[in-house]
A and B are shown apart, each in its own frame.
Chain A
Amino acid sequence: MPQAGSGHRLCPPPEGPPPRPRKAGFDWRAAFMPGLISSASIIVVFGTLAWLVTSADQWPRIKAQFFNIDHMIAAAPRVAQGFLTNLQVWLIALACIAVWALVLAVLRSLRGPVFAPFRLMVVLYIDFFRGVPALLLVILFGFGIPALNIPGLPNSGLFWGGVAMVLSYSAYVAEIYRSGIDAVHEGQRAAAKSLGLSEWQTLIYAILPQALRNVLPALMNIVVALQKDVALLSVIGVRDAVREAQIYTATTFNYSSLVVAALLFLLATIPMARIADWVNRRDRARRLQMAG
Chain B
Amino acid sequence: MSEIAIRGLTKYFGTNLVLDRVDLDIKAHQVVCLIGASGSGKSTLLRCINRLVEPDAGTITLDGVANDAPQFGRTGLQSKVGIVFQSYNLFPHLTVLANLTLAPCKVRGMPRRDAEARAHEVLARFGMERFARTYPEQLSGGQQQRVAIARAMMTTPDVLLLDEVTAALDPELVGEVLAIIRDLKTRGLTMVIVTHEMGFAQAVADRVCFLSGGRIIEEGPPEAIFTRPLHPTTQGFLARVLEPGQS
Contacts and interface: CB of A to CB of B under 8 A. Distances in A.
B93 A196 contact: no
Interface residues of A, number: 20
A14 interface: no
B151 interface: yes
B106 A197 contact: yes
Contacts, number: 57
Nearest to A191: B89
A194 B74 contact: no
Contact of B52 (A194, A198, A201, A206): A194
Contacts of A192: 91
A196 B78 contact: yes
B50 interface: yes
A284 interface: no
B107 A195 contact: yes
B107 A197 contact: yes
Contacts of A185: 87, 89
A63 interface: no
A69 B47 CA distance: 74
B82 interface: yes
A39 interface: no
B177 to A, nearest CB: 17
A197 B91 contact: no
Contact of A194 (B83, B87, B92, B93): B83
Nearest to B78: A196
A201 B78 contact: no
Contact of A190 (B85, B93, B108, B152): B85
Nearest to B107: A196
Interface in A177-200: 185, 187-188, 190-198
Interface string B70-111: 000011001100110101011111000000001100111000
A187 B151 contact: no
Contacts of A193: 52, 78
Given A188-B91, A190-B85, A198 B137 contact: no
B87 A195 contact: no
A196 B85 contact: no
A3 to B, nearest CB: 25
Contacts of B102: 195, 197, 205-206
A6 interface: no
A198 B78 contact: no
B93 A210 contact: yes
Given A191-B85, A195-B151, 8 more contacts: A190-B85, A196-B74, A196-B75, A196-B78, A196-B79, A201-B106, A205-B102, A209-B93
Interface of B: 47, 50, 52, 74-75, 78-79, 82-83, 85, 87, 89-93, 102-103, 106-108, 137, 151-152
Interface of A: 185, 187-188, 190-198, 201, 205-206, 209-210, 213, 289-290
26 contacts: A185-B87, A187-B85, A188-B89, A188-B91, A190-B52, A190-B85, A190-B89, A191-B85, A191-B89, A194-B50, A194-B78, A195-B102, A195-B103, A195-B107, A196-B74, A196-B75, A196-B78, A196-B79, A196-B107, A196-B108, A197-B103, A197-B106, A197-B107, A198-B74, A198-B107, A290-B137
